[in-house]
Amino acid sequence: MLSERNLKKLDEMKKYYQTSQSLVLPALWMVQEEHGHISEDAMKYVAKLLGVPFGHILGVVTFYTMLHRKPIGRHHVEVCTNVSCMLRGADKIVEHLEKRLGIKMGETSRDRKWTLSEVECMGSCGTAPMFAVGEEYYENLTPEKIDKLIADLERK
Amino acid sequence: MEKYLLPDIRDLHRIDVYEAHGGYKAFRKALQMKTEDVTEEVKKSGLKGRGGACFPTGLKWTFMPKQSDKPKYLCVNGDESEPGTFKDRQIFEFNPHLMIEGTLIAAYAMGGSISYIYVRGEYGKWIKMIEKALHDAYAKGYIGQNILGSGFSTEIIVHRGAGAYICGEESALMNSIEGDRGYPRVKPPFPAQNGLWGRATTINNVETISNVPLIIDRGWEWYSKIGAPKYPGPILVGVSGHVNKPGVYELPTGVPLLEIIHKYAGGVPGNKAIKAVFPGGSSTMVLRGDQLEGVCMDAESLKAAGSSVGTAGLIVMDEDTDLIKVIARIAKFYYHESCGQCTPCREGTGWLWKILNRFENGEGRWEDIDLLLDVANNVEGNTICALGDAAAWPVQSMVRRFRDEFERRAKIPRPKVLEAVAV
Ligand SMILES: Cc1cc2nc3c(=O)[nH]c(=O)nc-3n(C[C@H](O)[C@H](O)[C@H](O)COP(=O)(O)O)c2cc1C
Ligand code: SF4
Ligand code: FES
């Protein structure tokens, strides 16, 4: 389930941690990076790999909002609606995105290209409003900028 | 003033550039000092934590056991999730070696064998930058075994979070590193006695740790003279909301809030009046625009004004701001981020959000105004960690300082007398 490269990396990380349980989060990140989400089979795999009960893994996966148990769209658009972004027009950004993508907050498009989520403060309050797609941050957004970004991402 | 944390030097994130500007000099100097003297220097400098709780850094270090047959640890807190806070990210991007150098000095002073830089999961891009910087510092022999021939050995690794504000709370952070859910622990015992895997651990914020090389390099006396005497040093002030030039500004502590807003952040768009500000992130008590005269970005001054310095994330709201909408959104945040371990926090944050939501929708009742205070007061101080307080403070202060807004928005119940007439 995990690539040789990542298994080797996990092995190298062992020396930094007192227990193999500490590798749960790094291992789950690797699974998600390789497979896009963390299935039940993947959780069983990680449980076995690290010698940690399955129930523990499930507890961890459900605790952290960035870990997904279900596949999501190819482009995951995460819009911050917290206070600093709200003050600079996050509502309008949300509205525009919903209209442009044809989906509502929390939905994935039928072609699985887009998932739209509302998120808490992303640490971009000084460049608000913003959204992230994957690890990329898009800041100081305007409707025009969004249209261009969507067109660019559509092609990817 | 001269900038120390984020100086205007091109490519400072590169180790060769950092070294060319005196980088790792402080660490070399520290390695020549006795470990207690390093801690003493930090203690005398007056540096206080920039992570929100404002605790004296040197004093915290002295809580670590001197002799121990077990390894000791350091956690550098880069979870940075408090709404209105975006400063640590600047250090990761523009001056990561300063943070690494500070971490090394702290590890040396406390005898730390491994340091964990805990970074919020959303900062994947910045994690790669930190990892690159760590890689280069390892290659130059600043981290690892027998560093620079001193006999001192220590390791540094980045640990990535996965989306949970609560993991910024120090004990939740340790549980997260241990591969558990980010549940805060009951204190005492404190981390210096019983931290990661039950061993002595110290947790410091990214910006706090990045101040350490300055203190060692130039001495505590020099440092203690920067800014406000009881809360000295350079500070990264993040200004957001209704200002013309939002962003992170490095200033000495003690600059008046109005000067920060008007001189540095370019004033309020359309020259509108300031209705309110959160001086240090969304969990600090809100201040009215008309009470800002003379209030400074300094722990003492903000305390006197009825708030706190928090993370120095200054959120500005102009005269047209719907404060009910603002506070309802903030309440929703704390409700969403409560880990659910303690009943007052789990239930109380939900109640606060629901009641504020009623006001937002024009359904608020007159008696709800006092109910908000009642619920908030029952959360405050009755929980395992300070998230409960963080949820209560903005609501309490908003109701107390802007009661008129709530009264105006309340759906006033029909007076009893009229009801009698109707019958
Ligand atoms: C709910 C909650 C969230 C917190 N989040 C952070 C954070 O993101 N970063 C941080 O440095 N400190 C955070 N803190 C404060 C830490 O518990 C701790 O006091 C701090 O990291 C200590 O570092 P300092 O002394 O250098 O400030 C948080 C506290 C609470 C209660
Ligand atoms: S105060 Fe809230 S966040 Fe903190 S431990 Fe209790 S329930 Fe969890
Ligand atoms: S409030 Fe949106 S990034 Fe901070």
Query: Each residue of B216-240: pLDDT tens digit?
Result: 999 999 999 999 999 999 999 999 9
User: What is the distance between the alpha carbons of residues A48 and B64, in angstroms, rounded to a whole number?
Assistant: 36
Say whether both B158 and B288 belong to one domain: no
CATH of the domain at B363: 1.20.1440.230
Tell me what percent of chain A is helix, strand and coil, each rounded to the nearest 5. Answer: 55, 10, 35
B384 Cα to the center of ligand 3, angstroms = 26
Residue type, B285: M
Say whether both A51 and A87 belong to one domain: no
Q: Look at residue A88 and tell me if it is in a domain.
A: yes
| Degrees to nearest 5, angle at CA B182 with B177 and B184 | 105
Domain count, chain B: 3
Say whether both B288 and B202 belong to one domain: no
Say whether both B361 and B282 belong to one domain: no
Say whether both A142 and A79 belong to one domain: yes
Q: Look at residue B422 and tell me if it is in a domain.
A: no
Contact A123 B248 (CB under 8 A): no
B101 Cα to the center of ligand 3, angstroms = 29
Residue B420 has pLDDT above 60, yes or no: no
Q: Chain B residues with CB inside 8 Å of A87's CB? A: 240-242, 315, 317, 321, 326
Please identify among residues 94-153 of chain A the ones whose CB lies closer than 8 Å to any CB of chain B: 119-128, 132, 134-137
Q: For residue B388, what are its two tokens?
A: 């409960």
Q: Among B318, B336, B368, identify where a domain stops.
A: B318
Instruction: State the CB neighbour count (10 A cutoff) for residue B420.
Output: 8
Q: Look at residue B4 and tell me if it is in a domain.
A: no
Say whether both A93 and A43 belong to one domain: no
A139: domain range? 75-154
Say whether both B39 and B187 belong to one domain: yes
Q: Among B225, B241, B265, identify where a domain stops.
A: B225
Q: What is the pTM of this model?
A: 0.97
pLDDT band for B102, please (50, 70, 90 cuts).
very high
Say whether both B23 and B68 belong to one domain: yes
Flag the least confident range among A2-16, B41-55, B98-112, B405-419.
Answer: B405-419
Q: What is the mean pLDDT of chain B?
A: 96
User: What is the distance between the alpha carbons of residues A61 and A53, in angstroms, rounded to a whole number?
Assistant: 13
Q: Look at residue A69 and tell me if it is in a domain.
A: no
Q: In terms of CA atoms, which chain B residue is nearest residue A32?
A: B162
B277 Cα to the center of ligand 3, angstroms = 15
Strand A131-133 vs strand A136-138: parallel, antiparallel, or unpaired? antiparallel
> Considering only CA atoms, which of A25, A105, A108, A106 is closest in space to residue A67?
A25
User: What is the distance between the alpha carbons of residues B208 and B78, in angstroms, rounded to a whole number?
Assistant: 11
Contact B326 A136 (CB under 8 A): no
For the CA of B311, the nearest ligand? 1
Average of per-residue pLDDT across B111-131: 98
Q: Does A54 touch chain B (CB under 8 A)?
A: no
User: What is the distance between the alpha carbons of residues B222 and B338, in angstroms, rounded to a whole number?
Assistant: 41
| Per-residue model confidence (pLDDT) at position B417 | 54
Helix (H) or strand (E) holding B117: strand B112-119
| Per-residue model confidence (pLDDT) at position B416 | 59
Alpha helices in chain A (DSSP H): 4-13, 24-35, 40-50, 54-63, 83-87, 90-101, 143-154
CA distances from B22 to B10, B26, B188, B363, B405 (A): 14, 8, 41, 61, 53
Instruction: State the CB neighbour count (10 A cutoff) for residue A68.
Output: 17
pLDDT band for B422, please (50, 70, 90 cuts).
very low
Token pair 């013309």: residue: B244
B353: domain range? 323-409
Contact A125 B238 (CB under 8 A): yes
Domain count, chain A: 2
Q: Look at residue A68 and tell me if it is in a domain.
A: no
| Per-residue model confidence (pLDDT) at position A156 | 81
| Per-residue model confidence (pLDDT) at position B414 | 53
Instruction: State the CB neighbour count (10 A cutoff) for residue B27.
Output: 24
Taking the CA of residue B85 and the nearest CA in chain A, the distance in Å comes to 6
CATH of the domain at B277: 3.10.20.600
Say whether both A83 and A132 belong to one domain: yes
Say whether both B309 and B398 belong to one domain: no
In percent, the amount of chain B with pLDDT more than 90 equals 96
Q: For residue A145, what are its two tokens?
A: 């900028």
Q: In testing the pocket of ligand 3, which one of A78, A79, A121 has its CB within 8 Å of the most ligand atoms? A: A121
Q: Chain A residues with CB inside 8 Å of B182's CB? A: 63-64
| Per-residue model confidence (pLDDT) at position B75 | 98
Say whether both B101 and B204 belong to one domain: yes
Q: In terms of CA atoms, which chain B residue is nearest residue A52?
A: B179
Contact B246, B268 (CB under 8 A): no
Say whether both A59 and A79 belong to one domain: no
Say whether both B327 and B356 belong to one domain: yes
B387 lines ligand 2 (CB under 6 A): yes
B166 Cα to the center of ligand 2, angstroms = 8
Q: Look at residue B312 and tell me if it is in a domain.
A: yes
Contact B79, B92 (CB under 8 A): no
Q: Does A154 touch chain B (CB under 8 A)?
A: no
CATH of the domain at A28: 1.10.10
Q: HSE (CB half, 13 Å, CA atoms) of B343?
A: 1
CATH of the domain at B215: 3.40.50.11540
pLDDT digits (tens, 9 = 90+) for B362-381: 999 999 999 999 999 999 99
Residue B423 has pLDDT above 80, yes or no: no
Instruction: State the CB neighbour count (10 A cutoff) for residue B366.
Output: 13
Say whether both A144 and A99 belong to one domain: yes
Say whether both B46 and B171 belong to one domain: yes
Going edge to edge, which strands form the sheet with B313-318?
B247-252, B234-241, B313-318, B274-278, B287-288
Say whether both A88 and A144 belong to one domain: yes
B39 Cα to the center of ligand 1, angstroms = 21
pLDDT band for B1, please (50, 70, 90 cuts).
confident
User: B227: alpha, beta or left, given left = phi > 0 and alpha = psi -120 to 50?
Assistant: left
pLDDT band for B411, please (50, 70, 90 cuts).
confident
Say whether both B285 and B360 belong to one domain: no
For the CA of B342, the nearest ligand? 2
CATH of the domain at A85: 3.40.30.10
| Candidates A83, A125, A136; nearest CB to B330 | A83
- Atom of ligand 1 at shortest distance to CA of B79? 8
Q: Among B190, B225, B260, identify where a domain stops.
A: B225
B337 Cα to the center of ligand 1, angstroms = 14
Taking the CA of residue B383 and the nearest CA in chain A, the distance in Å comes to 20
Say whether both A28 and A91 belong to one domain: no
Q: Look at residue B251 and tell me if it is in a domain.
A: yes
B103 lines ligand 1 (CB under 6 A): no
For the CA of B169, the nearest ligand? 1
Q: Chain A residues with CB inside 8 Å of B323's CB? A: none
Q: For residue B108, what are its two tokens?
A: 């040396």
Say whether both B163 and B192 belong to one domain: yes
Alpha helices in A19-87 (DSSP H): 24-35, 40-50, 54-63, 83-87
Average of per-residue pLDDT across A32-39: 97
pLDDT digits (tens, 9 = 90+) for B329-366: 999 999 999 999 999 999 999 999 999 999 999 999 99
